[in-house]
Structures are given as C-alpha cells and as structure tokens.
Amino acid sequence: MIGATIILYKPELAQTLPLLLSIIEQVEVISIVDNSPVPTELDLVHENLHYHHFPNNIGIAAAHNIGLRDLKTANCEYGILLDQDSSIDNDFAFRLSSLMVASRVENRPLVAIGPRIICSFTDKTVKPRVQREISVYEDLVCVTQIISSGMMIDLAKLESIGLKDESLFIDGVDHEWCWRAKQQNQMVAIAEKVEMVHQLGDARRKFAGVTYKVGSPVRLYYQFRNILILSRRGYVPWYWKARNLLCMPIRFFANALLQTDRLQRIKFMACGIIDGLLKRDGSFSKHW
C-alpha cells in the first residue's frame, strides 16, 4: 500500500490542485499538512484522507513527520513526500514503487528514491554541480542526497534511520535525512526515467553571467543558520560543507546588494549567522 504526504503553505490552488487531484488517484492514503495561517479550502474526496492545520507553521520537518506517522499508522509500505509546487505524471507513484519493489527483490539496501527534477523556471533537468553519482543500477542512479518533494520512502526502515530533524525547521532537512540514512548503509537514488517538474526558489536572478535562485528573505535565516549547524556534524559530506561555507560570503553580498529588499535580507542573514554560531535551532520566531 502506498501513501502520500503533501505539505501546504499559502498555496496557489491553480498550481496545487492539479497535483492533489493527480496523487489522490494514485495512492491509498493521503495526509495533507497545512502550515498556512488560515486553512486552505480543498474540495477533495478520498476515503482515507487526513488533514492537519497548523496556523503557526511548525516547519517542513515536523510536517513531514506528522504525515509519515499517518502513513505508518495506516500500514502503508511506501510513502511519497510532495511539496505544493510540484507537478507529477499520472503513473508517478506506480513507477517509483515498481523500482522500490524490484530493489527489495534484488536485496539492494534502497531506502528512498526520487525523480529527475525539472526546474519550472528553465524547463531543464537539474544537475548538481558538486554531487557525483555513486553508482548506477539499470534505471537507478545512487546519489548522496535527493530533495524531499517526490521522494518515496520505504517506511519499514524509518525506525532505524529516524524521522526528519525538526530542529532544522526547513532548509537542509531533506539532505540531512539522506546523509543519516547513508550512515545506516542505506541507499538513496534517482529514478533515471521518472521526471517531476518542481519550482526551486521563488525567482531567478543573474549576476556576472551566473543565474542563481532567489528565495524569500526569511528563508535566508534558515539557510545561513543551518549551514553553520550542519557543518559541525561528522556525517555531513565534506564537499557540502566546503561549498556552502565558501559560498556564504558571496550569497551574503548578492542578497545584500543586488535585491530590492536589501535591509530585510541583511537582517535575516545576520540573525541566521548569529544563531548558527550559538547553535540555536527551531523557528526564527523562537529567538527573534
């Protein structure tokens, strides 16, 4: 049995409803966790649908954990995590689960699998610049980490790996879980022939000929803070630490000088650096 958890935060229904209507036809259990200030009005019919509303926004890690617990309680074998700004095909769940089942038959220690991501801004396949593919098994490409949206998890292995790290709140949550799984000698992989359109960031900007993602100002707090928090952990890959720590000054410069809401961005980045150095976790509102 397959279930799905969808995380909402002030969704644009024109974009999110097609995703919900598609996944609701593909899985037996649906868990929607809504972090929006007011409940999202959804006209959905499903015999096993769970809806949770948290107006104060509990963060994506805690939202994932609530959904995963719903799926586990319903005795689902596999669980898909989805963000509101993703778009999937009508056989998405079937194709991912088929690869999971085949890996189980062949005794591969596969705990999670995700699709090839197509950026909604560029319509191009996202290819990490630093992360390298570990190994290839026919239609599976084993990697160090994958993003949470589109990720299908073998729920039987959650107990040994653990749930998502709620102290991070958002940003780095998906990668941290994958690195923790690798500690348990479990693999994460990309399905070579399964694609998903996903919105990465809120916009795109170009500086010195280089195009980069632009997110909301408050996300900068979590990005800067969590880089400093995760860089202290031994199981976090060295290349991730090096790339992110070295790029922090460049990102600070770009956000402080090249955006229209510069002062607000400087504030969030400074708060993130302070809290990262002081090892403060949780939500921004918890400390500021």
Mean predicted confidence (pLDDT) in 258-269: 92
Which domain range does residue 218 map to? 203-286
Looking at the structure, tell me whether residues 247 and 189 fall in a common domain: no
Task: Tell me the per-residue pLDDT of 85-102, one tens digit each, with 9 for 90 and over.
Answer: 999 999 999 999 999 999
pLDDT of residue 119: 81
**How many structural domains are present in the chain?**
2
Q: Which phi and psi angles does 195 have, rounded to 5°?
A: -115, 155
Mean predicted confidence (pLDDT) in 139-158: 94
From the number of C-beta atoms within 10 Å of its C-beta (0-12, 13-18, 19+), residue 187 rates as: buried
Looking at the structure, tell me whether residues 243 and 110 fall in a common domain: no
Looking at the structure, tell me whether residues 110 and 14 fall in a common domain: yes
CA–CA dist 182, 185 (Å, integer): 5
Mean predicted confidence (pLDDT) in 32-40: 96
Task: Tell me the per-residue pLDDT of 176-197, one tens digit each, with 9 for 90 and over.
Answer: 999 999 999 999 999 999 999 9
pLDDT of residue 212: 60
Mean predicted confidence (pLDDT) in 44-51: 90
Q: In Å, how far are 127, 171, 236 from 176, measured between CA atoms?
A: 19, 9, 7
pLDDT of residue 48: 93
Question: The tokens of 112 are what?
Answer: 């999670």
**Alpha carbon distance, N-terminus to C-terminus of the chain:** 43
Does 255 or 138 have the greater pLDDT score? 255
Query: pLDDT-derived band of residue 123, with 50, 70 and 90 as boundaries?
Result: low
For the domain that residue 152 is a member of, what is the CATH number?
3.90.550.10
CA–CA dist 174, 134 (Å, integer): 18
Is residue 43 predicted with pLDDT exceeding 70?
yes
Question: What is the DSSP-derived secondary structure letter of residue 64?
Answer: H
Mean predicted confidence (pLDDT) in 245-273: 92
Where is the domain boundary, 181, 198, 215? Answer: 198
Stretch among 2-11, 19-28, 128-137, 195-204 having the lowest mean pLDDT: 128-137
CA–CA dist 50, 7 (Å, integer): 12
Where is the domain boundary, 158, 179, 198? Answer: 198
pLDDT of residue 139: 83
Looking at the structure, tell me whether residues 188 and 223 fall in a common domain: no
Is residue 138 predicted with pLDDT exceeding 80?
no
Is residue 137 predicted with pLDDT exceeding 70?
no
Nearest to 30 by CA among 20, 38, 43: 20
Looking at the structure, tell me whether residues 177 and 265 fall in a common domain: no
Mean predicted confidence (pLDDT) in 122-128: 68
- Whether 172 and 276 have beta carbons less than 8 Å apart is answered as no
- What predicted TM-score, i.e. pTM, was given to this entire model? 0.92
Other CB atoms within a 10 A radius of the CB of residue 90 amount to 10
Is residue 256 predicted with pLDDT exceeding 80?
yes
Looking at the structure, tell me whether residues 234 and 180 fall in a common domain: no
Output the DSSP codes for 238-273. Answer: HHHHHHHHHHHHHHHHHHHHSSTTHHHHHHHHHHHH
Looking at the structure, tell me whether residues 221 and 281 fall in a common domain: yes
Q: What sign does the dihedral 39-118-200-245 (CA atoms) show?
A: positive
Average pLDDT over the chain reads 91
Mean predicted confidence (pLDDT) in 215-240: 95
Looking at the structure, tell me whether residues 34 and 84 fall in a common domain: yes
